[in-house]
Structure 1
Amino acid sequence: MREATILFKGEKAGILTQHDDASFTFAYSDDWVLNIEKPSISLTLQKINKVFHSPYLFPFFYNMLPEGTNKQAICKLNKIDLNDYFGLLLTVATEDTIGAITIEKRY
């Protein structure tokens, strides 16, 4: 199992988990859900007190990944399998992403 903290503008919004069977879950932190001023991180991941399940990486997070030769170069440089989307996400989405979301590996 691997986990990542999902940050919205630097604040902890929730936890993304890859399970041993390669499925994924995402859950907002309780503080995020209870604060009415905090938005959903995505239209497809509504801000509710629920654990979202998916057999594959949620499209919202998948769309943060590089493609083509950029993906190949990053994977080769960081020794990441081309099909390890979670590992790639942990590598490329730690800072300076297009949107307000960044990813922080949990140890």
Structure 2
Amino acid sequence: MRKVNVYYGDIYAGQLVELSRGNYEFTYDDAFRADGSTPPVSVNLPKSQKVYHSERIFPVFTNMLPEGANRRALCRARKVDESDFFGMLEMICGMDAIGKFVLKRPEE
């Protein structure tokens, strides 16, 4: 099982979990969900107590990944397989992201 924490700026928003390859879930943090001043992670993942499940990593997260030559170079440098999307998400934890949401390792 692998996990990454999702933050809205410095505010903990929730957690993305890979239970196994092809079995993913996202859960909002209770405090973030209750805060009316914070947006949902995605229009497809509205704030809810619900645990969202998917056979694929949710597009809002894969859209955070670099593309093309940048992806290949980063994967080579970090020794991550380009087909391991969750591994790439772990790889970009703590890096600047486009938009307000960022990923961090649970231990950060």
Q: Deviations over 1:36-66 (max 9, x none)?
A: 2222121111011111111011001011111
Contact 1:64 1:93 in 2 (8 A): no
The answer to whether structure 1 residue 85 and structure 2 residue 85 are counterparts is yes
- What's the counterpart of residue 103 of structure 1? 103
Point out where structure 2 has 5 or more consecutive residues left out of the alignment: none
| Residue identity in the other structure for 2:16 | L
The answer to whether structure 1 residue 45 and structure 2 residue 48 are counterparts is no
Report % sequence identity.
35
Query: TM-score normalized by structure 1?
Result: 0.92
Give the deviation of 1:93 after TM superposition: 4.4
RMSD of Structure 2 on Structure 1 (CA): 1.3
Structure 2 CA distance, aligned partners of 1:60 and 1:28?
14
Query: TM-score normalized by structure 2?
Result: 0.91
- What's the counterpart of residue 17 of structure 2? 17
Q: Deviations over 1:59-88 (max 9, x none)?
A: 010111111111111000000011111111
Point out where structure 1 has 5 or more consecutive residues left out of the alignment: none
- What's the counterpart of residue 75 of structure 2? 75
| Paired residues, number | 107
